[in-house]
């Protein structure tokens, strides 16, 4: 397929490369010349503007920083510029209201659209092992699934348009809570005289099992390899986790849901990011205990 990929950051760059590796004709755009150069090396065709990249695309995928940018890109450079009927896939993590507004505008103009945010991080994006949580009609999901599969270990239809974003905000709220708890348990074990590696060996095979402990251990030199072993560089930035937690709290407020642990996790990451740590991996909460 001819696929336009807009947004080649830490996640998007690896995703676009996997589409090219799978044999798709990937037309890439990013504001960063370095990102475009990497995309070209990975087999993508770079473009100077979004409208040029989407001009003959059968599908358009966006991976952008926030809802305002998503809305601006779709309304000014995708809708009406891509061929009518092209499938639109937004894999950004944004608020549900903006996503549904953009999808409605796209639908009115003759474009099917799905929201398809991802879970898995930078390594999974590079390795083609992301989990896509997809919101949209049955027909749009069926069209999107083969496009997403080269980038994925799982492509799951979450429900109607916007359901993917709901799944993402709930998932990342849970992840933040797990990570904070994992950091606290590891540090408490150490302070109480139990070697952190021994605690990992025990808890990772007990009821304390979770992804943050087993697969992304936030203590340096303990358990699974993670950004903790590299000074918390790379991985999933704390500033991005805070962004996702704020989206989750807004979503909870609109849904009338009580999320006290989510609120507390947001406050913890807010203080951490406000102290100048936004660029560190979200497991760096371990260093504050």
DSSP string, 220-251: TTSSS--GGGGTT-SSSBHHHHHHHHHHHHHH
Contact 50, 6 (CB under 8 A): yes
Burial of 283 per CB tally in 10 Å (0-12, 13-18, 19+): buried
Burial of 1 per CB tally in 10 Å (0-12, 13-18, 19+): middle
Q: From the candidates 40, 71, 153, 168, which is the catalytic residue?
A: 168
Pairing of strands 87-90, 130-135: unpaired
Tokens of 285: 């909460």
* Strand ranges inside the chain, DSSP E: 2-6, 25-29, 45-46, 59-62, 87-90, 113-115, 118-119, 130-135, 152-159
Alpha-carbon radius of gyration of the chain = 20
| 168 has catalytic annotation | yes
C-alpha to C-alpha distances, 94 to 78, 140, 169, 218, nearest whole angstrom: 18, 20, 9, 26
Q: Which residues are catalytic?
A: 168
């Amino acid at each position: 397929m001819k696929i336009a990929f807009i947004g080649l950051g830490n996640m998007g760059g690896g995703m676009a490369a996997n589409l090219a590796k799978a044999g798709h004709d990937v037309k890439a755009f990013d504001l960063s010349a370095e990102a475009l150069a990497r995309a070209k090396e990975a087999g993508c065709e770079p473009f100077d503007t979004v409208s040029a990249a989407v001009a003959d695309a059968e599908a358009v995928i966006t991976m952008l920083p926030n809802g305002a940018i998503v809305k601006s890109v779709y309304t000014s450079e995708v809708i009406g510029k891509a061929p009518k009927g092209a499938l639109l896939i937004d894999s950004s993590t944004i608020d549900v209201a903006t996503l549904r507004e953009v999808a409605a505008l796209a639908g009115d103009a003759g474009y099917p659209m799905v929201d398809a945010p991802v879970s898995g991080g930078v390594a999974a994006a590079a390795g083609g092992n992301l989990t896509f949580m997809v919101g949209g009609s049955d027909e749009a999901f069926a069209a999107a699934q083969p496009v997403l599969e080269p980038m994925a270990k799982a492509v799951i239809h979450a429900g109607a348009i916007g359901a993917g974003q709901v799944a993402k905000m709930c998932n990342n709220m849970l992840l933040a809570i797990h990570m904070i708890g994992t950091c606290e348990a590891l540090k408490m074990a150490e302070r109480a005289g139990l070697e952190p590696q021994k605690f990992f060996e025990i808890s990772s095979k007990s009821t304390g099992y979770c992804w943050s402990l087993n697969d992304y251990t936030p203590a340096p030199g303990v358990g699974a390899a993670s950004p903790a072993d590299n000074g918390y560089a790379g991985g999933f930035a704390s500033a991005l986790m805070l962004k996702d937690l704020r989206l989750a709290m807004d979503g909870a407020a609109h849904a009338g849901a009580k999320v006290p642990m989510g609120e507390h996790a947001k406050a913890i990451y807010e203080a951490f990011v406000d102290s100048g740590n936004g660029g560190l991996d979200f497991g760096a909460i371990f260093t504050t205990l």
